[in-house]
Structure 1
Amino acid sequence: MVNPPPKNTRKSNQRSPSLKGVSMARLAALNLIEDVMGKGLPLQESIARSREYDALDARDRRFCRRIISLTLRHHGEASAILAPHLNRPPKGKNRKAGFVLMMAVTEMIMGGGEPHAVVDQSVRLVKAVELAHLGGLTNAVLRKIAAEAETLKARPADAWANLPTWLARAIRADWPDQADAVAASLMMTPPLDLSLKNTGGD
């Protein structure tokens, strides 16, 4: 009998005072995005090991997955929006703050999130993951972006910015005439099929 993979035992799963007012769905999303983008782990494997995700109710799980999907699909565009406001992206131990910023931008600009709430939660989030020294930076950068939100939303989407170089080259080589359409299709959330399968019974 194969034992199930052990659950992720991050310290952040402990509800300490630093998590007061923090969206647990956003915290779970942040740690899962870090697993995928920072450590190269498969998303489904990380979800299966995450106690934070496991503790969410159905509504929060949907929100968590939405944040993850937005961030992974639009991370290149988010990085381009953030670039003018950062001397350099947070690195090393501070890299997690970069993922918080990326999540916030995709939620505000691509996901239609309410700017004030997104900024507030993002500041709380960096403090919750022991990056309080970047709380001011997070607040300042996201407030500037929030002020430009309507203009940024009106900009044409740039699907190519979100694709790895190898994939962009392959698309242009294989579908030279439909490359833009193919790239754009990869940014779309797949439809959820809830149809019942015919099992042969009445």
Structure 2
Amino acid sequence: MTKPPQRRPAPASSAAPAPGAQLRVEAARALARVVSEGISLRSALGDANSRVADPRDRSLLAASLFAASRWWLRFDAALDALIDKPLPPKAREARALLIISMVQIAVIGLPDYAVVAACVDAMRTLGQPHYAGLANAVLRRFLREREAIEKTLDASEVTRHAHPRWLIDAITRDWPEQADTIFTANNHQAPLTLRVNRRRVERTVLLQRLYDAGIAASPHADLADAIVLAESTDVTRLPGYAEGLFSVQDGAAQRVVDLLDIEDGLRVLDACAAPGGKAAHLLERANIELLALDSDAARLDRVHENLARLGLDADVAVGDAMAVAGWWDGRPFDRILVDAPCSATGIVRRQPDIKLHRRAADIAPLVAGQSALLAALWPTLAPRGRLVYATCSLLRAENEDVIATFLDAHADARALPVPANFGLEAGPGRQNLPGENGCDGFFYAALVKVQVNE
């Protein structure tokens, strides 16, 4: 019996993409935008997610993008060691795809053979078929020589920690005994922490609802409104989200409200309010008259959305906090929160693209802005009123130095003690380092306005 003729498989370039190829294309394009265009990781991920339907694919996309951003400085150097001729700038998406693939092998732990095959296919789907052979050769060489390559990478602080040189130097200078711990914490994913809306639900009740839904969660040991989830997830799918029973907020940010010591009837200013997490927390804690101010009108849309979902109300206004005459009605505030724009070096584990975007030259302008913000807002604080200054920075120049300089220049300002049940003493304030108490890196200082002769 004559066998029917066997059909040859179509060439890879004309075949439908293998499962996972398009996902890797989206990841490569997003990562290239983060690295080359300065687009924020969350923005790039959001755009890519809009083209990925399967929740499982979205999870892999997010994991790949976060890990590749976190470890870019390490595996970018590894790639340079693996190729004989540098890739041209126009091949940025091909480069991103190769680095994502190495990260999927070395960090995420996906099967070697699957990653290599998917990368080669994705290179073709990306429209770079001339790099398909290179992808295969580079990844197979990486697998063969991985131990030696990683030993070489570990010999340099920059590639060992995957931090830029300037940031390594700054953290080592400011926190010499804790530097290695900080670098390690920065390279681990932060836990997902919720803040219970105590106006709508008790923490024990929300914990039970999460447990009933099969979601592992636990109360934070020393933050009254915090719940820590065992695994990251799409929070919009959690029970209680649509009802406004909780928000996502790291424990370090939740601590700010405790330091403000608010109570019913106080007039409170949140001077840099967007996207509204701390403003909402203040309103959940007490019946206050709150002005949520921010200079970015577009970002204030998020404040309105968050307050509406949580069933809260505040006076939300567009205004430059340093241009007081443009928004202040002359009535002093009993409490002021200055969550100052900063380098964000304390939340690298949550936003690893900070390591790729922030520069040493950014710090001096930030310090000048922080100092100007304090000086402008101080006259709006009532006598005996309290101002809390907070940043998500690790750098002393933005934190204790700013506060010390302010205190020297204002005889009517006194630093209040910050409770010592967390973090480290940092001049007139206190510093939580990344990972301490399961929280982000945050600095806090509390100031009170006194009579000059007190």
Q: Same fold (TM over 0.5)?
A: yes
**Does residue 72 of structure 1 match 2:66?**
no
Q: Distance in 2 between matches of 1:69 and 1:87?
A: 28
**Unaligned segments of structure 1, at least 5 residues:** 1-15
Partner of 2:102: 105
Q: Structure 1 or 2: larger helix share? A: 1
Fraction of identical pairs, as percent: 25
Q: Distance in 2 between matches of 1:156 and 1:190?
A: 28
Q: Distance in 1 between matches of 2:152 and 2:82?
A: 20
Q: Secondary structure at the match of 1:113?
A: coil
Partner of 1:47: 45
Q: Distance in 2 between matches of 1:156 and 1:129?
A: 31
Closer, same or farther in 2 for the Cα pair 1:160/1:62, shift >3 Å? same
Instruction: Decide which moves more: 29-38 or 78-87.
Output: 78-87
The equivalences for 1:13-24 within 5 A come to 20-23=17-20, 24=22
The code of the aligned residue for 1:89 comes to P
Closer, same or farther in 2 for the Cα pair 1:184/1:153, shift >3 Å? farther
**Unaligned segments of structure 2, at least 5 residues:** 1-12, 203-454
**Does residue 178 of structure 1 match 2:175?**
no
TM-score, structure 2 as length reference: 0.37
Residues 40-93 of structure 1: per-residue CA shift (max 9 Å, x gap): 11122223434x544322111111000001101111221233233212431222
What is the aligned counterpart of 1:139 among 122, 136, 139?
136
Q: Distance in 2 between matches of 1:19 and 1:68?
A: 24
**Does residue 116 of structure 1 match 2:113?**
yes
Partner of 1:126: 123
Residues 138-173 of structure 1: per-residue CA shift (max 9 Å, x gap): 101101112345x37986985742112222221111
Question: Does structure 1 conserve the Cα–Cα contact (< 8 Å) formed by 2:97 and 2:119?
Answer: yes
The number of aligned residues is 185
Residues 8-56 of structure 1: per-residue CA shift (max 9 Å, x gap): xxxxxxxx96652152332221111011012111122223434x54432
Q: Distance in 1 between matches of 2:94 and 2:75?
A: 14
Partner of 1:11: none
Question: Does structure 1 conserve the Cα–Cα contact (< 8 Å) formed by 2:75 and 2:99?
Answer: yes
TM-score, structure 1 as length reference: 0.79
Question: Does structure 2 conserve the Cα–Cα contact (< 8 Å) formed by 1:53 and 1:61?
Answer: no
Closer, same or farther in 2 for the Cα pair 1:98/1:37, shift >3 Å? same
Superposed displacement of residue 194, structure 1:
5.2
Determine which structure has greater relative contact order: mean sequence separation of CA pairs < 8 Å that are 6+ residues apart, divided by chain length.
Answer: 1
Partner of 1:38: 36
The code of the aligned residue for 2:18 comes to G
Closer, same or farther in 2 for the Cα pair 1:65/1:19, shift >3 Å? farther
Q: Distance in 2 between matches of 1:85 and 1:195?
A: 46
Closer, same or farther in 2 for the Cα pair 1:142/1:53, shift >3 Å? farther
